[in-house]
Amino acid sequence: MHAFIVIYGSHYGNTEKYARAIAAALGCPALSAKEVRTADLAGKTVVFGGGVYAGSICGWKRTAKKIAKAKAPRLVLFVCGLADPAKQKTRDEARMLFEKKCAAAKDAPVFCLRGGIDYGKLKFGHRTMMAMLMQYLKRKKDPSPEDAQLLATYGKAVDFYDESTAKAVIDAAKSL
């Protein structure tokens, strides 16, 4: 058996909840991307999870640099967001976002987990982006079911967190 470390980037807490559940199952620490050091990664299987915000993954840029320096050979990645993880487009976009910042992500398993949103807790920048997205979706001629769901829940708290979906991430880490 080898050592694990779980690293997460989270603004509102869902990614951190998944990361802590995964770390507990793997018997290792869960560290924020802000606090992890390159030395922490040496010889470990790195599980990284980040929230998706406006086309980027929270904490990934910083962590990808440390992974490159540490030459961490084993890597498992997950994103947490509102998009439907059953859709191939969601998975493809997540992989592209990871690979854009780190060559090692090319061979890593990538998972998409659903989080949630509480509009009352959004920071100003995220609240503004969501308002602009809603204006765009209202004008869209053929909204998708996902678009309709976003419109219907706008301004409310929505929680899709499901710890059981993290099992695939845990199994992938154990299999490396």
Q: What is the pLDDT of residues 65-124, one digit of tens each?
A: 999 999 767 999 999 998 889 999 999 999 999 999 998 899 999 999 999 988 888 889
Q: Which residue has the higher pLDDT, 150 or 115?
A: 115
CATH 3.40.50.360, domain 4-115+160-175, yes or no: yes
Pair 166, 22: CB distance under 8 Å: yes
Report which residue type is found at 146.
E
CA distances from 35 to 50, 73, 168 (A): 14, 21, 26
Distance from C-alpha of 52 to C-alpha of 164, rounded to nearest angstrom: 20
Residue 154 and residue 57 in contact, taking contact as beta carbons nearer than 8 Å: no
Domain locations in the chain as residue ranges: 4-115+160-175, 118-158
pLDDT tens string 20-31: 999 999 999 999
Across the chain, how many H-helices and E-strands are there? 6, 8
Phi and psi at 77, nearest 5°, equal: -125, 145
Q: What is the pLDDT of residues 51-69, one digit of tens each?
A: 998 789 999 999 999 999 9
Distance in angstroms (rounded) separating the CA atoms of residues 30 and 131? 33
pTM for the full model?
A: 0.90
| Residue 139, C-beta contacts closer than 8 angstroms, at least 6 positions apart | none
The confidence band for 145, taking pLDDT boundaries of 50, 70 and 90, is confident
Dihedral pair phi/psi, residue 112, rounded to 5°: -120, 125
Tell me 32's DSSP state.
Answer: E
Tell me: pLDDT of 136 over 60: yes
Partnered with residue 10 across adjacent β-strands are none
